[in-house]
Amino acid sequence: MSADDDPVIRPYESRDREAVRQVCFETGYMGDPIAWQWRDAESFADLFTSYYTDHEPGSATVVEMDGRVVGYLLGCRDTRHAGNPVAPLGRHIVRRGLFFRPGTAGVLWRSVRDIGTDAIRRDLPSASDYDARWPAHLHIDFLPEARGRGVGRSMLSRWLDELRSDGVAGCHLGTWAENDGAISFFEAMGFRRRGRPVPMPGMRDRRGNRHHSQTMTIEFA
């Protein structure tokens, strides 16, 4: 392995925006590409990255290998500032007709049905992710070539240390409940599962089973 192949962690810069969006799309299904289920890359990337790159870039870091962005940590110090996380998707639905766009319409119509069913069963998630005990949150993703090098641990440690230094009470995140590797990683970093897994509207595995989201939290006090 040459020195050029070694991962380099650095602050996010505006020139990284498209690369971050691509990493998001290529890792959107528990670290694998999401295109088989959600083909529209623009709407998916907006949903999970646009607030952080466009409104809180100072809380973001990226990892480079051989001059290419292969991973990121996108942070938010106060979840209330992020607004409604679904709002970017709503704009794509209205302006670009996602409910009728092949490769993406299926997951959206399925989401509508799931939300209706979950509402009847009173199994909908909370309308807000904010809690004063863990006001910050994050998203973290890496392409396969960046994994297994300790990069995730290093980036997450830096983020948590920054929050502690700034007096932030704690941090939370949401991950796929079925992603045992991710949950084990976050637990090793001090996060703990908070509450039960909740169904994710529209998301299915390749056999048609519903996926679930697991909230995880860490407090610094």
In order of 53, 99, 114, 154, 205, the CA distances from 73 in angstroms are 11, 30, 30, 11, 25
pLDDT in tens, 15-41: 999 999 999 999 999 999 999 999 999
| Residue 86 confidence (pLDDT) | 84
CATH topology of domain 3-219: Aminopeptidase (3.40.630)
Q: Where are the alpha helices (DSSP H) in 27-81?
A: 41-55
Going 9 to 15 to 20 to 22, the CA torsion angle's sign is: negative
Return the DSSP state at 28. Answer: T
pLDDT in tens, 107-127: 999 999 999 999 998 877 776
Q: Say whether pTM exceeds 0.85.
A: yes
Closest CA to 207 of 41, 39, 40, 37: 37
Q: Where are the alpha helices (DSSP H) in the chain?
A: 17-26, 41-55, 87-96, 105-120, 151-165, 180-188
Angle formed by the axes of helices 87-96 and 41-55, nearest 10° = 140
32 by DSSP, 3-state: which? Answer: strand
- The alpha carbons of the chain give a radius of gyration, in whole angstroms, of 17
